[in-house]
Amino acid sequence: MRRAAFVWSLPLGLLLLAACEEKSASPESSRPVRTVAVAFVDGRQTMMQTGTVTPRLETDLGFQVSGRLLRRAVDVGARIKAGDLIAAIDPSDILNEVKTAEADVASSSAAATVAQSNLDRQRWLFDRQIVAKVSVETAESDWKGAVAKRDAATATLANARNKLGYADLRATISGVVTATGANAGQVVGAGQMVVRLASDTDKDASFDVAESVINTIPADVPVRVTLLADASASTLGKVREISPSADDATRSYRVKVALPNAPEAMNLGATVTGSIVAPGVPEVELPAASISGVDGKPAVFVVDTATGRLSLKPVTVDRYGQDNVLISKGLDAGERVVIAGVSKLRPGQIVSLEGAAQ
């Protein structure tokens, strides 16, 4: 009975062994993965920067002559027009100079008249051979000297009268007073700043821009400038000036954008935002979970749709977002990239595209 049992169990063992060999020889099962087809999009991006409205022209106004300041007619924030009175100095000393110059002109004119009469007399006598020629020459020399003194006195009088006009300081342009440098009773020197006047007709928007942006953005790019407090107040500007050196503290560059058609609401000192559309290269946007690595560099898994086999391709990441990445190099349009579970995959692995995302 025991031999029969052994005889019957032997074929059963052979069958089990054959089944195991058949199972080990079956092909590797494919792993389903989620993928997305590579599609390039426009890589341009909108960049924004906060700045302030500044005057294009800001002038320090002062007297052309020295004197004691009698009064200052404007304060900081005052809006004035060209020709308006700003300040005045005591004209007493200048009036004395005018009177002295007028007296000199009268005296030199009288002396020139006498010299002219003497010259005419000497010429008349010389024509009748009463006096020698040297007398005529002496009279002519005296007359020329008298005329020169009269001309000099006349010029001095003109300068004195000009100084009298300089006693009143008037605005040369329309604008807003942004600073004062002298008060009534103070003695001011010629050229000393009495008020600082900012033109309110030509305005700029000033921004402090990082060096990376300066090096990548063309200087002729149009800038959309919008008032922060009122989005409806907006205008298109053009870069007018870029500082040649960076600020020592912030290492940023001052960029001034001309605002030829600035809305009235954009007052000097107002906060504005400047936005530009930065040029870029075509990019691929992928979920952040699709990024793997090879040799310390970012890479993604690409599926060969013909064989279902994975390959790991290095890529160039332009920038990282919170949930996505933008890739500029390393992929071709139409390739399918694995977007989930990349930590469990390996190059050469067989996968299926079930559940592929579009």
pLDDT of 65 over the 70 cut: yes
Which domains are delineated in the chain?
A: 31-43+282-352 (2.40.420.20), 48-55+202-278 (2.40.30.170), 58-90+168-198 (2.40.50.100), 92-166 (1.10.287.470)
Query: Which pLDDT value is given to residue 136?
Result: 92
Distance CA 199, CA 328 (A): 46
Residue of 282 and 275 predicted with greater confidence: 275
Confidence of residue 22 (pLDDT cuts 50, 70, 90): very low
Residue of 16 and 39 predicted with greater confidence: 39
Query: Which pLDDT value is given to residue 280?
Result: 63
pLDDT of 8 over the 60 cut: no
Confidence of residue 199 (pLDDT cuts 50, 70, 90): confident
% of the chain at pLDDT higher than 70:
88
Task: Identify which of 357, 351, 268 has the alpha carbon closest to the alpha carbon of residue 35.
Answer: 357
Would the pTM count as exceeding 0.85? no
pLDDT of 121 over the 90 cut: yes
Confidence of residue 54 (pLDDT cuts 50, 70, 90): very high
Confidence of residue 193 (pLDDT cuts 50, 70, 90): very high
- Return the H-helix or E-strand segment holding 216: helix 211-216
pLDDT of 28 over the 60 cut: no
Both tokens assigned to 227: 């008032």
pLDDT of 6 over the 80 cut: no
Choose the weakest-confidence range: 63-72, 209-218, 308-317, 324-333: 209-218
Confidence of residue 279 (pLDDT cuts 50, 70, 90): low
Query: Which pLDDT value is given to residue 226?
Result: 94
Distance CA 212, CA 215 (A): 5
Residue in the block written with tokens 């990024």: 291
The count of residues in the chain is 358
Choose the weakest-confidence range: 41-55, 96-110, 134-148, 249-263: 41-55
Choose the weakest-confidence range: 18-22, 132-136, 145-149: 18-22
Confidence of residue 47 (pLDDT cuts 50, 70, 90): confident
pLDDT of 86 over the 60 cut: yes
CB 310 within 8 A of CB 338: yes
Query: Which pLDDT value is given to residue 117?
Result: 95
Segment 139-162 mean pLDDT: 95
Query: Which pLDDT value is given to residue 32?
Result: 87
Residue of 124 and 220 predicted with greater confidence: 124
Distance CA 10, CA 185 (A): 128
Segment 137-157 mean pLDDT: 95
% of the chain at pLDDT higher than 90:
54
At 210, the amino acid letter reads: A
pLDDT of 317 over the 60 cut: yes
Both tokens assigned to 132: 């020698």
Tell me the sheet residues that pair with 206.
Answer: 52, 256
The tally of CA atoms less than 13 A away on the side-chain side of residue 310 is 26
pLDDT of 16 over the 60 cut: no
Task: Identify which of 172, 167, 190 has the alpha carbon closest to the alpha carbon of residue 84.
Answer: 172
Query: Which pLDDT value is given to residue 154?
Result: 96
Confidence of residue 44 (pLDDT cuts 50, 70, 90): low
In a 3-state reduction of DSSP, which class is residue 147?
helix
Q: What angle do CA 6, 9, 12 make, to 5 degrees?
A: 160
Distance CA 136, CA 126 (A): 7
Both tokens assigned to 100: 């002295």
pLDDT, averaged across the chain: 86
pLDDT of 25 over the 80 cut: no
